[in-house]
Amino acid sequence: MCDTIIARGNVTADGATLFAKNSDREPNEAHHIVVIPAADHAPSSRVQCTYIEIPQVAHTHRVLLCKPFWIWGAEMGANEHGVVIGNEAVFTKIPYAKTPGLIGMDFLRLALERAQTARAALDVITALLAQYGQSGNCGYQHATYYHNGFLIADPHNAWVLETADKHWAAERVQDIRTISNGLTIGNQFDLASPDLVKYAVARGWCQSRDDFHFARCYSDFLFTRFSQSRARQCRTTAQLAAQRGKITIETMTRALRDHGDDANWSPARGIASFDVCAHAGWGPIRGTQTTGSLVAHLTPTAQTHFVTGTAAPCTSIFKPVWLDSGVLHAAEPAPTGEYDAATLFWRHEQLHRATLRDYATLSALYRDERDALERRFIADAPAWREQSREDRLAYSVGAFAQADAAEKQWTAHVLARAGKSRNGFLYDAEWRAFNRAAGINP
């Protein structure tokens, strides 16, 4: 389950477009941040995606990918032209193809590598969808199949693209828009696949174009309902709408960290609850959690991205990245599904998983320091956007190092204070299983 949100420049405080997303995956499915350089490719060359090869294009753009470690594509990312995309699993009435093919995260990376505008990215995805369809397992240790929705933006335009197999509808974003794990486009849309309505009429989902409603006709009721996508989408929309005209980067980070209005919130509560800042636990839909987060600040002349690279934004720090500056932690190995202290994701998991023992008490030990450090990174970013690429890289690397050092101290404090877990037996048992599988002992 994921959430992706956008506020265009006509409703933000500084006129920039702001885009944000939480990537929700299995707890041990390490999140990886990588920059892929632009490249020229020989005629007739091919590119290996997660499962299949397809023809490569003559030139691919430089991209920033925030991705599950084992997948070729990404759940969110950006390119050198200021295009950003996030994808969402959506559940439809059309059966999911299980043969290895292109998955939603592959479409996302292919669009970033091949498109210079949001509309061009939409066209890349829909053309590939028409040619290849979408198919294949999208889960790490638990096979998962779904169709995909996308929020696509650049400094000038933004689109929501939602798909059901090879069928799709697209809506231009006017100001505020959020998507979650369900179809949201209704009877009004700007673009669509040629047979979108005809297919629904033929199956008795509607009578004609007059009563056609994309989400109502194509959605799978059960999975869409249990994903709680509607509640989360309404929550993020309300948060942005309340700040209309005043929306900032901090507005977006707060939305990604949201646990609702319950002052006594606990990650152990409920067997089917799923907040925007998602936490895994025991229950039928609680096998995933937020493993990485991104906020993008887009203007025609500069784009700054703030990434966690780590799980649970409520325990993480958003750090600045400029796409042209290079790989941030190139000396580190790529993370895997097992604990490795040499990687950013797993170092943070010591802090995150220890905090879960008594979230309310232990997160309070470092929350104020976390917020102060992050505010400084956000406040400094506009000045650094004007500096040389080398200087921006140095600042970004320094920000990651400062965050890493701070988290090391916080981890020591949390471990010193953490006593017996205050969570229930089933929740603790589930996390013991996650920890055993990863080889981590927080």
**How far, in Å, CA of 319 to CA of 404, rounded?**
11
2 is catalytic: yes
The DSSP output letter for 10 is G
Q: How far is CA 406 from the centre of its chain?
A: 24
Residue 394: CB partners within 8 Å, gap ≥ 6? none
- DSSP strand pairing (319-321 vs 176-179): unpaired
Catalytic residue among 2, 66, 277, 314: 2
**How far, in Å, CA of 68 to CA of 407, rounded?**
22
**How far, in Å, CA of 54 to CA of 222, rounded?**
34
Residue 225: enclosing H or E segment and its boundaries? helix 221-226
Residue of 338, 356, 344 whose CA lies nearest to 397: 344
Residue 28: CB partners within 8 Å, gap ≥ 6? 140, 141, 337, 338, 434, 437, 438
Phi, psi of 231 (to 5 degrees): -65, -40
**How far, in Å, CA of 120 to CA of 117, rounded?**
5
User: Furthest-apart CA pair in the chain: how many Å?
Assistant: 65
| DSSP states of 84-153 | EEEEEEE-BSSPPB-SS---HHHHHHHHHHH-SSHHHHHHHHHHHHHHH--BS---SSS----EEEEEEE
Which residues are the active-site residues? 2
